[in-house]
Chain A
């Protein structure tokens, strides 16, 4: 309950502070609010709280996911500074919308009630549709409109799934017993609706265009916060109904398609943001692998944190290089000579995303694959591992361009504001939690997906 109140208060405060303070002050207010949310989370860590007659349940899993979302939001807020100093500060609504999206994500993660889930999903999504257009150019508008239209279709699927779920079980609460064709149809539709938000193939078509068209800090936010919230909801749904029968085969097909499609298409991209968008599709597949295990919550929580830190770091570096027209690979060339801090962050992020030890990304992959193997899903694990090996190719390609490429203009990258702080912080965490993964795993080990 504390976290819910803090997050909502931050969103309100950011909105009203904007009436009489410049956007930069609103940013500081939002940032401080997110730090307060971190403190609130730490104080209530592991406590289980229910409110509103069981519609809101803050258990260990919801706290784990909220931690990831708050960390992602802090990274997005820190990374925006240099970007907007060059591009002009956005209106204060930008920060209010970020806070609202995190609040919606928290609502989504802390419920087993489908009616609350869809409202939370919309509180998360609607600010994002506006944020995607925050750069106010043709690409931004296209990204926003595409995201909105496809998001509306996905929400319609999800709603229809809820109706069928209610029709076949007589309850809106996840975990109600149901069987028969209508129930299966309901589960498949809920799965399709959430697969859209998590960007699982074949529901990922919006991802590259939206990630590329949005301003880079917003892309960072989408890749971390939205993914965490959507996966929390997907885990709650799929674990409660049980991955058996048609749901199992459908989901296994989706996951395998995702890891291969994401990684194979990432290889042929010529723009760094687009490449990382496909990489985020592939990573959604790895996270989903954990759902085949007996208790996916700890592995998922850890992977989500690992992914949020690594991809957040990568996008934070790209935000420094992006002048609004994206980051073609040539722009990365010779990064080491132009800005050692950016190059260090970029190297750490890519090696972590590729899953090399001793970085945090390695332990994330290790945990999800072990989790699925516990249930004997060796085929899925083997194929996903194979896809992860393919992925190393384009991560190393991105890295090689940055380290050994000849720059067109060898001028140093000017960094400003809070961006270096965010990059240094994320890089340090990726390294530290990679060397000592037990610390982070300890935060998540008590989590379970099912709400009893």
Chain B
């Protein structure tokens, strides 16, 4: 494990922890941006350049900016998020996470790169190499992702559209009905 690996690991874990624990929604969003950027650096280090740029442009750029806009439009930017209804869960979750980490660390102990990717020509992870793969062997997956995004759009639209309204009744009509009822008594 090199110093770079260690540094990136610490950065990734710290920013992820900050994203879920910070009380201020905007701070949490910014921590998530930091997390995305660290991840992009890891991609670059793995010579996945296209993926790294996509990570920055799409996630850290477009998605997170939209996210921050929504947060700032919806709440007071200082709004507290994450009211903790089950505070006793926290130490339990931490203990379980630690156990999970140790188990995985044990699984990885003494294992080198199990399956070296040296024989795969990725051309520095640039679109030229990726395009052939995406529209060759992985075409089915690309098509399915298109279907997934379409289904997700339909789902999102169905979630946000307003309630199916009953026929709108004018206030004057309501008032008249009320008066008629009173007369009836």
Contacts and interface: CB of A to CB of B under 8 A. Distances in A.
A432 interface: no
Closest 9 CB pairs of A and B: A93-B158, A170-B115, A52-B140, A130-B155, A181-B107, A100-B151, A55-B140, A185-B107, A119-B144
Given A89-B164, A168-B115, A181-B111, A119 B155 contact: no
B2 interface: no
Given A8-B147, A181-B107, A167 B139 contact: no
A167 B137 CA distance: 19
A351 to B, nearest CB: 37
Interface in A346-387: none
Contact of B111 (A100, A115, A180): A180
A133 interface: yes
Given A167-B114, A167-B115, A180-B111, 11 more contacts: A51-B140, A52-B140, A93-B157, A104-B148, A115-B141, A122-B148, A130-B154, A130-B158, A181-B107, A181-B109, A185-B103
A351 B130 CA distance: 56
A199 interface: no
B104 interface: yes
A210 to B, nearest CB: 16
Contacts of B159: 130, 133, 144
Interface string B155-177: 11111010110000000000000
Interface string A98-119: 0010011001000000011001
A56 B140 contact: yes
Contact of A93 (B106, B139, B154): B154
Question: What is the size category of the interface that chain B forms with chain A?
Answer: 20 to 34
B138 interface: yes
Interface of A: 8, 11, 15, 51-53, 55-56, 88-91, 93-94, 96-97, 100, 103-104, 107, 115-116, 119-120, 122-123, 126-127, 129-130, 133-134, 136, 144, 166-170, 180-182, 184-185
Contacts of A56: 140
B63 interface: no
B161 to A, nearest CB: 6
Interface SS, B side: helix
B108 interface: yes
Nearest to A11: B151
B114 A182 contact: yes
A55 B154 contact: no
A103 B147 contact: yes
Provide the main secondary structure of the chain A interface.
Answer: helix
A15 B161 CA distance: 15
Contact of B151 (A52, A104, A166, A182): A104
A116 B140 contact: yes
A314 B151 CA distance: 29
B137 A53 contact: yes
B139 A182 contact: no
A23 to B, nearest CB: 9
Given A55-B141, A181-B111, A91 B161 contact: yes
Interface in B83-139: 103-104, 106-109, 111, 113-115, 137-139
Contacts of A91: 158, 161, 164
A96 B154 contact: yes
Nearest to A189: B104
B52 to A, nearest CB: 17
